[in-house]
């Protein structure tokens, strides 16, 4: 039932994208507003769906457990956040994008930029709805750790922030080629790329650190050169290089934008490529 | 970290290169590229695998070139060393200046040298002090107040420690690298496989070496529990007892995500397996007649009716999620043995060759548990690095430097005049917004 809810959210985000695009083409502030409202609605429904899925996970786990005291129940709740398989991670990713977008872009989350974010979320939800097993399964022993929640949340906030940086960078490159007065001006876009990248870098760093500490408690190795780990390191190195180039070499504009695009390709490979093309410790995602 | 290069002296040239950001960016991208190779070429496989997979020429090249263990080859370690030197050089180069800036007091002279951002005047009969204090407190927080003979100066400085942020980050990175090195040289990393009831006084280091323990460890019980039969495992649990000179010292339960430490070593639940603890009991059916036989592992059994031999090759406690099963080899006369699985809980699954039909009555299983045994003195270095990294990131990226000064004085005409000075080199937008609000509130007296 909840997976149908996410299907509805997917349609809502698709509508948001269409509204933002038509608003841009006809320069209609009314359609922009309608897009914002539908975006908020979709986000609200998706948040409710995530909480519902969380509860469902928790109830299922409760059914497999002996009667528990409230501290153990709390731990069970923390363990059963809907972040434990590929389907749930896609849904969460699709939630992070508009949420972070509203926080980081504020009034710029409209028009082409807003449509781009909405399309990305739509694609993620479409993939989750049509291509991935959505059944709830009990938690396997490797995932039973308090680190699961913080590790996955930070990692996906990082991915989402880099997606926003990618969106701004694409817009920057387009704006540079064919300037349009309705798009945010170049310095604003450049600043958005930088700020979202910094946010993503912080989150990715946190994701890697929490992952390392978790791996140390689960397997006795904080780093095992597992493909997921290695690719997150590759991503981290690319963004580290980009931040150094910008802050200390004064790189701006399209060179930084291209690095943001390259970095996001690495993010996509870290998330999808590693899960499908390479095997490793994170293969339970599929 | 600006760099001046003097090419005439080789020492200065080397120093200039080591402290250059161009080198940093270059090394970071090289490291990323080499790491990609490590995920595309499977690591640490036997040489024959590479020859089979990549062909003779390429396989040989990969093997000899160190690309099959790339993270411990010069291709990766070289750039890492260069990066470490680069970081150290940058720290030596820039840290003293950063410390000087961070510990420098925000003096009146420095304050009055800041660029002016606006002026507000009030008539002589209005005392602006309450308004100025209230506005500054609301918009900026608590300011330092200094009274000179003819004027009053309000000062505020934020993010003074910001210049230290990058250095915290880079020292943290060095700590993490040092931790990795310490673990590599002084750490112990091995495996220990224990049958239920078995006592061990040593564990495996690598594939050949055995490392003695200064205590003994016994596996009292190993258990896999499932959410539902044949489904996802719920828990792997090993109950361990640690002994010294035959005396029990401590007991502990080791699970995945819940390692156990004793005597300076940590035991992690790594994997498990099962083997037959006694004869497997099978029902054999031939032309309607049933009979029960007992087969020991890898011991041929003549089948009733004399139409062949049977060998139980292997058992599995949970074959592909379908519960206990036995791998049997049946041979009739001198022919090749035919191998097939028989599942205890699902006799209908799988094809069986020959005239006999086999069903499993019971498999006495004994589980063994495999532990990762580890001691890594570098972990705390790495963790210290992690802990240092975060305040470093905060200072470097989320704590902009901001300086505000308000000078309140009487003009020669007797009016009150406030001059607002300030600067925030890295957050111009936010600074400008706050400046506008401050000036508006001081002029109009109404907060927006």
- Whether A236 shows a pLDDT value over 90: the answer reads yes
The mean pLDDT of chain B is 87
> What tokens appear for A240 in the block?
């580290």
Would you state the pLDDT for residue A281? Answer: 55
Q: In Å, how far from its chain's centre is CA A80?
A: 19
Q: What is the dihedral of CA B267, B320, B356, B339, to 10 degrees?
A: -70
Query: CB of B256 within 8 A of CB of A214?
Result: no
Is 70 exceeded by the pLDDT of residue A284?
Answer: no
Dist. CA A141–CA A145, nearest whole Å: 8
Look at residue B448 in the predicted model and tell me its pLDDT. Answer: 38
Lowest-confidence range among A280-284, B147-151, B291-295?
A280-284
Partner-chain residue, chosen from B180, B270, B386, that has the shortest CB–CB distance to A209: B386
Contact B194, B369 (CB under 8 A): yes
Name the minimum distance, in Å, from the CA of A42 to any CA of chain B.
31
**3-state SS of B285-340?**
EECCEEEEEEECECCCEECCCCCCEEEEEEEECCHHHCCCEEEEEEECCCCCCEEE
C-alpha span between A165 and A159 (Å, rounded): 10
Nearest to A138 among B35, B71, B234 (CB): B234
Give the pLDDT band (50/70/90) at residue B394: very high
Mutate which of A248, A255, A258, A283 to disrupt the B interface (most B C-beta within 10 Å)? A248
Whole-angstrom distance between the N-terminal and C-terminal Cα of chain A? 22
Q: Residue B6: what pLDDT? A: 45
For residue A32, the model assigns a pLDDT of 92
Confidence at residue B56, expressed as pLDDT on a 0 to 100 scale: 84
Q: Considering only alpha carbons, which residue of chain B is nearest residue A225?
A: B71
Contact: B236, A141; criterion CB under 8 Å:
yes
Q: In chain A, which residue's Cα lies nearest the Cα of B233?
A: A140
B126, burial (CB in 10 Å: exposed 0-12, middle 13-18, buried 19+): exposed
R_g of chain B, CA atoms, integer Å? 37
Q: How many CA atoms lie within 13 A of B238 on its CB side?
A: 33
Q: Give the gap in angstroms from C-alpha B427 to the nearest C-alpha of chain A.
A: 11
Nearest residue in chain B measured CA to CA from A241: B25
Parallel/antiparallel/unpaired status of strands B151-158 and B402-410: antiparallel
Contact of B233 with chain A, judged by CB distance below 8 Å, is answered with yes
Separation between Cα atoms, residue B150 and residue A103, nearest integer Å: 46
Most confidently modeled range among B27-36, B202-211, B301-310: B27-36
Asked whether residue B10 carries a pLDDT value surpassing 80, the answer given is no
Contact B1 A220 (CB under 8 A): no
Q: What is the pLDDT of residues B360-372, one digit of tens each?
A: 988 888 888 899 9
Coil vs helix vs strand at A178? coil
Closest CA in chain B for residue A144: B257
Strands of chain A (E only): list them.
none
Give contacts of B268 with chain A, Cβ < 8 Å. 218-220
To the nearest whole Å, the CA of A141 is away from the closest chain B CA by 5
* Residue A270: DSSP 8-state: I
Tokens of A174: 């387009």
Test A233 with B35 for CB contact under 8 angstroms: yes
The rounded percent of chain B whose pLDDT value lies above 90 is 35
pLDDT at residue B3 tops 80 = no
Confidence grade of residue B321 (pLDDT, cut at 50, 70, 90): low
Residue contact A212–B429, C-beta within 8 A: no
pLDDT at B306: 81
- Among A142, A227, A244, the residue with its CB nearest the CB of B39 is A227
Cβ(A109)–Cβ(A37) below 8 Å: no
Rounded to whole angstroms, the Cα distance separating B398 from A198 reads 9
Q: How many CA atoms lie within 13 A of B209 on its CB side?
A: 8
B382 to A222: CB separation less than 8 angstroms, yes or no: yes
- The residue ranking higher by pLDDT, B128 or A267, is A267
With a CB cutoff of 8 Å and minimum separation 6, the contacts of B399 are B158, B159, B161, B162, B165
Domain extents for chain A?
Answer: 1-139, 149-286
Reported for A266-273, long-range contacts at CB under 8 A and 24+ positions apart, including other chains, are A266/A231, A266/A234, A266/A235, A266/A238, A266/B32, A267/A159, A267/A162, A267/A163, A267/A235, A269/A231, A270/A159, A270/A228, A270/A231, A270/A232, A270/A234, A270/A235, A271/A93, A271/A159, A273/A231
Query: Measured between CA atoms, how close is B255 to chain A, in angstroms?
Result: 8
User: A223 and B255 in contact by Cβ < 8 A?
Assistant: no
The whole-number pLDDT of residue A286 equals 38
Burial class (CB in 10 A: 0-12, 13-18, 19+), B69: middle
Query: Does the pLDDT value for residue B283 go beyond 60?
Result: yes
Q: CA of A40 to nearest chain B CA: how many angstroms apart?
A: 26
- Tell me the per-residue pLDDT of A5-50, one tens digit each, with 9 for 90 and over: 999 999 999 999 999 999 988 888 899 999 999 999 999 999 999 9
Phi, psi angles (nearest 5°) of residue A241: -60, -40
Average pLDDT over residues B29-55: 86
Q: Which two tokens stand for residue A214?
A: 């978790």
> Does A64 contact B234 at a Cβ distance shorter than 8 Å?
yes
Q: Which pLDDT score, from 0 to 100, does residue A279 have?
A: 62
Q: For B210-217, what is the mean pLDDT?
A: 91
CB contact B225 to A (< 8 Å): no
Q: Nearest Cα to B191, choosing from B448, B322, B414, B372? A: B372
Interface check A60 vs B, CB under 8 A: no
* Banded pLDDT at B323 (limits 50, 70, 90): confident
User: Is A245's Cβ below 8 Å from some Cβ in B?
Assistant: yes
pLDDT 10s digits, A128-158: 998 888 888 888 888 888 999 999 999 999 9
Interface with chain A: mutation pick from B25, B73, B205, B254, highest number of A CBs within 10 Å: B25
Instruction: Flag if A138 and B231 touch (Cβ within 8 Å).
Output: yes
Chain B residue closest to A277 (CA)? B40
What is the token pair recorded at B240? 């361990």
The reply to whether residue B233 touches residue A141, judged by beta carbons under 8 angstroms, is yes
Contact B35 A240 (CB under 8 A): no
Q: Per residue, what are the HEC states of B103-165?
A: HCCCCHHHHHCCCEEEEEEECCCCCCHHHHHHHHHHHHCCCEEEECCCEEEEEEEECCCHHHH
Q: How far apart are CA A30 and CA A248, in angstroms?
A: 43
> Chain B within 8 Å of A268 (Cβ-Cβ)?
no
Place of tokens 């390392």: A212
Interface of B with A in 398-417 (CB under 8 A): 398
Tokens 């200046």 locate to B97
Nearest by Cα to A80 from A54, A62, A60, A48: A54
- The residue with greater pLDDT, B373 or A280, is B373
At B2, is the pLDDT very low, low, confident or very high (cuts 50, 70, 90)?
A: very low
- Pick the residue of A61, A149, A218 with the most B CBs within 10 A to test the interface with B by mutation: A218
In angstroms, rounded to a whole number, what is the distance separating the alpha carbons of residues B52 and B63? Answer: 12
∠ Cα B269 B272 B273 (to 5°): 170
Residue of B nearest to A213 (CA): B383
pLDDT at A248: 86
- The whole-chain average pLDDT of chain A stands at 90
Residue with tokens 């300011």: B143
């Amino acid at each position: 039932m909840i997976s149908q809810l996410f299907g509805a959210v997917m349609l809502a985000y698709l509508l948001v994208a269409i509204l933002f695009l038509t608003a841009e083409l006809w320069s209609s502030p009314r359609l922009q507003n309608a897009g914002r409202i539908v975006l908020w609605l979709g986000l609200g429904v998706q948040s409710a769906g995530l909480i519902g899925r969380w509860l469902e996970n928790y109830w299922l786990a409760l059914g497999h457990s002996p009667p528990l005291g409230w501290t153990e129940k709390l731990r069970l709740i923390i363990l059963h956040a809907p972040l434990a398989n590929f389907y749930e991670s896609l849904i969460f990713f699709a939630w992070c994008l508009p949420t972070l977008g509203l926080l980081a872009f504020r009034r710029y989350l409209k028009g082409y930029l807003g449509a781009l974010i909405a399309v990305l979320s739509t694609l993620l939800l479409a993939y989750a709805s049509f291509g991935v097993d959505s059944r709830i399964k009990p938690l396997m022993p490797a995932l039973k750790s308090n680190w699961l929640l913080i590790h996955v949340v930070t990692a996906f906030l990082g991915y989402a922030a880099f997606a926003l940086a990618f969106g701004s960078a694409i817009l920057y490159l387009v704006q540079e080629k064919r300037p349009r007065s309705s798009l945010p001006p170049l310095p604003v876009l450049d600043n958005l790329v930088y700020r979202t990248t910094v946010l993503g870098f912080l989150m990715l760093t946190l994701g890697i650190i929490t992952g390392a500490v978790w791996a140390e408690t689960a397997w006795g190795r904080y780093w095992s050169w597992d493909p997921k780990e290695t690719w997150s390191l590759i991503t981290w190195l690319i963004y580290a290089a980009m931040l150094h180039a910008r802050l200390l070499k004064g790189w701006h504009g399209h060179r930084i934008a291209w690095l943001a695009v390259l970095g996001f390709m690495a993010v996509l490979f870290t998330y999808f490529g590693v899960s499908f093309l390479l095997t490793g410790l994170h293969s339970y995602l599929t | 970290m600006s760099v001046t290069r003097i090419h005439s002296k080789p020492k200065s040239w080397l120093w200039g290169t080591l402290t250059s950001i161009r080198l940093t960016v270059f090394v970071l991208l090289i490291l990323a590229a080499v790491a990609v190779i490590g995920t595309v070429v499977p690591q640490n496989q036997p040489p024959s695998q590479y020859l089979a997979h990549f062909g003779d020429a390429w396989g040989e090249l990969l093997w000899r070139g160190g690309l099959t263990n790339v993270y411990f080859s010069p291709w990766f370690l070289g750039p890492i060393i260069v990066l470490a030197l680069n970081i150290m050089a940058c720290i030596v180069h820039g840290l003293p200046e950063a410390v000087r800036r961070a510990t420098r007091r925000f003096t009146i002279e420095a304050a009055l040298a800041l660029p002016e951002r606006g002026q507000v005047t009030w008539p002589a009969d209005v005392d602006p002090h309450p308004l100025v204090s209230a506005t500054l407190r609301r918009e900026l927080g608590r300011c330092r107040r200094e009274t000179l003979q003819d004027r009053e100066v309000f000062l505020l400085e934020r993010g003074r420690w910001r210049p230290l942020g990058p250095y915290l980050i880079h020292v943290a990175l060095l700590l993490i690298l040092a931790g990795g090195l310490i673990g590599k040289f002084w750490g112990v990393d091995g495996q220990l496989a224990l049958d239920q009831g078995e006592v061990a006084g040593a564990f495996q280091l690598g594939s050949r070496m055995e490392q003695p323990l200064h205590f003994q460890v016994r596996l009292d019980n190993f258990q896999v529990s499932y959410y539902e039969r044949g489904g996802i495992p719920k828990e792997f649990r090993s109950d361990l007892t640690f002994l010294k000179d035959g005396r029990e010292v401590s007991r502990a339960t080791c699970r995945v995500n819940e390692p156990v430490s004793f005597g300076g070593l940590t035991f992690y639940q790594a994997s498990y397996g099962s083997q037959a603890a006694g004869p497997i009991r099978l029902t054999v059916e031939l032309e309607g007649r049933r009979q029960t036989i007992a087969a020991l592992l890898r011991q041929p059994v003549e089948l009733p009716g004399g139409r062949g031999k049977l060998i139980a090759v292997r058992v599995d406690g949970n074959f592909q999620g379908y519960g206990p099963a036995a791998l049997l080899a049946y041979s009739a006369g001198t022919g090749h043995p035919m191998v097939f699985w028989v599942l205890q809980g699902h006799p209908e699954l799988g094809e069986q060759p020959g005239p006999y039909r086999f069903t499993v009555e019971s498999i006495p299983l004994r589980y063994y548990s495999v532990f990762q045994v580890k001691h890594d003195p570098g972990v705390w270095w790495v963790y210290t690095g992690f802990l240092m990294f975060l305040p470093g990131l905060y200072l470097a990226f989320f704590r902009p430097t901001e300086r505000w000064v308000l000078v309140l004085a009487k003009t020669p005409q007797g009016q009150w005049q406030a001059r607002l000075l300030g600067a925030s080199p890295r957050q111009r937008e936010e600074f400008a917004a706050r400046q506008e609000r401050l000036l508006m509130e001081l002029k109009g007296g109404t907060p927006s």
